[in-house]
């Protein structure tokens, strides 16, 4: 982990730190463009070839259905089912609070405006399954999709060594009432959902996190098809703000929790205490050695850094520039700095709040913007699965009241037909 002192950093140093590993872009873009065009032209055949090439599996069928899903779901222990049920309940509770209930407004006499919510009809959920299979991501995407009432929910996840999905993914599918899962991963899954293949229907919007191939594919199909995406949700990252009240054992554990996701993950420590930084570095060494994914975590930590700041205010300045996917406030004084937060995907407040809680089971969604997209995007929520359609109704007093203003505005824009659409009604209502 590289170490910096905030007061020694120039603006361009800060820009460099904030850019993460953006220089990987071009090479990955070319590869992903190639995958997308192959899927567009050769459909299912291309998907089977990529399963062989990247996942090392020969697939007789690109999907599994209800019977096999139920059999696989039965293979998991009661203890795991219970834990998944706890997560399911909390995530559902939190997302149900997001059901919107807007009222109609009469903006001026006789003119009523309102919005009505409609579910996006066909959604595609990408559940990562490369270096780790993530049933938790299935909960995070499937629950709001179901609450929203999406008619068709297409689920893609990379095939496992068994040529199928694992029992945990199957159990979540069963809980959500999803009867089909496509065994397709990576950029090819995104291409399939954006263009459609013989087996996989084209969807209106693609959701879900993934590695750099998945994230690049989402970004590309968004600009070349009419399929939307949730957001760029790439390699996981965390920024921990720690003061002298922080516990270095907890801080190191939180940094490693995101570092173990992938070699391209970033774990950033911003602290007003030099000794907390030192002790955390020692803890990192200790804790990393017992991790099964220690090689991955070690690479990510190597690509990560710490910044020594003068106080919590300066820590927040850096954090807002970095715009982390996850922001942990490892301080007893967290309430004093939450008003200063401008950019973050999700915030974990106080020393007893591990980021893992949000990853799994507290209720908030873990599909969040990475690579500084937290500056402009929110994480996935119920809103991501719906459209809000505006309506208006104008009665006779409304057109009499508002019509003349519309006529003037149309006139100054030189749009006579717009003006006429009002004038003919005004003439009619005057009799």
Ligand X SMILES: NC(=O)c1ccc[n+]([C@@H]2O[C@H](COP(=O)([O-])OP(=O)(O)OC[C@H]3O[C@@H](n4cnc5c(N)ncnc54)[C@H](O)[C@@H]3O)[C@@H](O)[C@H]2O)c1
Positions marked catalytic:
325-326
136 binds, among ligand X, ligand HSO, Zn ion, none (CB under 5 to 8 A by kind): ligand HSO
| Residue 144 binds ligand X (CB under 6 A) | no
Q: Which is nearer to ligand X, 346 or 353 (CB)?
A: 346
Stretch that binds ligand X, among 80-88, 99-107, 128-136, 276-284 (CB under 6 A): 128-136
| Nearest-approach distance from CB 218 to Zn ion, in angstroms | 19
246 binds, among ligand HSO, ligand X, Zn ion, none (CB under 5 to 8 A by kind): none
- Restricting to residues 137-196, name those near ligand HSO by CB under 6 A: 137
Asked if residue 122 lies in contact with residue 157, where contact means CB atoms within 8 angstroms, the answer is no
What is the CB neighbour count within 10 angstroms for residue 131?
Answer: 13
Stretch that binds ligand X, among 102-110, 220-228, 258-266, 423-431 (CB under 6 A): 258-266
Among 35, 62, 133, 134, binds ligand HSO (CB under 6 A): 134
Stretch that binds Zn ion, among 94-102, 204-212, 292-300, 359-367 (CB under 5 A): 359-367
| Residue 158 binds ligand X (CB under 6 A) | yes
Among 197, 236, 346, 384, binds ligand X (CB under 6 A): 236
Q: Which is nearer to ligand HSO, 50 or 138 (CB)?
A: 138
List CB contacts of 340: < 8 A, sequence separation 6 or more.
Answer: 313, 316, 320
| Nearest-approach distance from CB 187 to ligand X, in angstroms | 6
- Main-chain dihedrals φ then ψ at residue 323, nearest 5 degrees: 50, 65
3-state per-residue secondary structure call for 42-95? HHHHHHHHHHHHHHCCCCCCCEEEHHHHHHHHCCCCHHHHHHHHHHHHHHHHHH
DSSP string, 196-241: --SSS---SEEE----HHHHHHHHHHHHHSS-EES----S-EEEEE
**CA proximity to 28, closest of 216, 221, 264, 233:** 216
Put residue 110 in one of left, alpha, beta given phi > 0 → left and psi -120 to 50 → alpha: left
DSSP H/E element including 388: strand 386-394
Stretch that binds ligand HSO, among 130-138, 169-177, 271-279, 399-407 (CB under 6 A): 130-138
Query: What residues are paired with 119 via a beta bridge?
Result: 386
| Residue 254 binds ligand HSO (CB under 6 A) | no
- Restricting to residues 69-128, name those near ligand HSO by CB under 6 A: none
What strand order describes the sheet that includes 105-108?
Answer: 105-108, 111-119, 386-394
Among 89, 107, 131, 162, binds ligand X (CB under 6 A): 131
Q: Which is nearer to ligand HSO, 134 or 221 (CB)?
A: 134
Structural tokens at position 275: 């000794």
Query: What residues are paired with 388 via a beta bridge?
Result: 117
Q: Which is nearer to ligand X, 17 or 231 (CB)?
A: 231
Asked if residue 386 lies in contact with residue 361, where contact means CB atoms within 8 angstroms, the answer is no
Q: Which is nearer to ligand HSO, 87 or 200 (CB)?
A: 87
C-alpha dihedral over 312, 316, 318, 320, to 10 degrees? 180
Q: Which is nearer to ligand HSO, 264 or 325 (CB)?
A: 325
DSSP H/E element including 180: strand 180-182
Per CB under 6 A, residues contacting ligand X are 31, 54-55, 128-132, 134, 137, 158, 185-187, 209-211, 213-214, 233, 235-236, 261-262, 265, 325, 366-368, 370
Per CB under 5 A, residues contacting Zn ion are 359
Per CB under 6 A, residues contacting ligand HSO are 134, 136-137, 236, 258, 261, 325, 359, 366
């Amino acid at each position: 982990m590289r170490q910096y002192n905030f007061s020694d950093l120039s603006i361009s140093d800060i820009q460099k730190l904030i850019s993460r590993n953006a220089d990987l872009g071009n090479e990955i873009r070319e590869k992903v463009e190639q995958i997308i065009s192959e899927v567009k032209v050769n459909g299912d055949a291309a998907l089977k070839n990529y399963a062989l090439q990247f996942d090392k599996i020969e697939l007789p069928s690109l999907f599994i259905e209800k019977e096999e899903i139920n059999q696989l779901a039965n293979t998991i222990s009661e203890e795991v089912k219970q834990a998944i049920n706890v997560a399911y309940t909390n995530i559902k509770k939190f997302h149900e609070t997001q059901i919107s209930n807007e009222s109609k407004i009469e903006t001026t006499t006789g003119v009523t405006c309102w919005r009505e919510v409609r579910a996006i009809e066909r959604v595609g959920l990408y559940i990562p399954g490369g270096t780790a299979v993530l049933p938790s991501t299935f909960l995070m995407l499937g629950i709001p999709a179901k609450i929203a009432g999406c008619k068709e929910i297409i689920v893609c996840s990379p095939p496992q060594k068994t040529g199928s999905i694992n029992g945990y993914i199957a159990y979540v599918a069963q809980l959500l009432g999803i009867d089909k899962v496509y065994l397709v991963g990576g950029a090819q899954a995104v291409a399939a959902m954006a263009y459609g293949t013989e087996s996989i229907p084209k969807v209106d919007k693609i959701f879900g996190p993934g590695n750099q191939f998945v994230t690049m594919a989402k970004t590309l199909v968004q600009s070349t098809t009419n399929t939307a995406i949730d957001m760029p949700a790439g390699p996981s990252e965390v920024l921990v703000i720690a003061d002298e009240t922080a516990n270095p054992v907890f801080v190191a554990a939180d940094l490693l929790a995101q570092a173990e996701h992938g070699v391209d993950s970033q774990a950033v420590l911003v602290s007003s205490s030099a000794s907390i930084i030192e002790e955390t570095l020692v803890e990192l060494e200790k804790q990393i050695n017992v991790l099964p994914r220690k090689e991955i975590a070690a690479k990510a930590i190597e690509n990560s850094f710490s910044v020594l700041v003068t106080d919590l205010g300066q820590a927040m300045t850096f954090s807002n520039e970095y715009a982390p996917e996850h922001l942990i406030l490892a301080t007893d004084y967290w309430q004093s700095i939450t008003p200063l937060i401008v950019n973050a995907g999700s915030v974990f407040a106080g020393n007893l709040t591990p980021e893992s809680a949000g990853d799994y089971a507290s209720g908030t969604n873990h599909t969040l913007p990475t690579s500084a997209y937290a500056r402009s995007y929110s994480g996935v929520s119920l809103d991501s699965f719906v459209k809000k359609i505006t309506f208006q109704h104008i009665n006779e007093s409304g057109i009499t009241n508002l019509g003349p203003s519309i006529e003037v505005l149309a006139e100054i824009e030189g749009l006579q037909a717009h003006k006429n659409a009002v004038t003919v009604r005004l003439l009619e209502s005057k009799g």
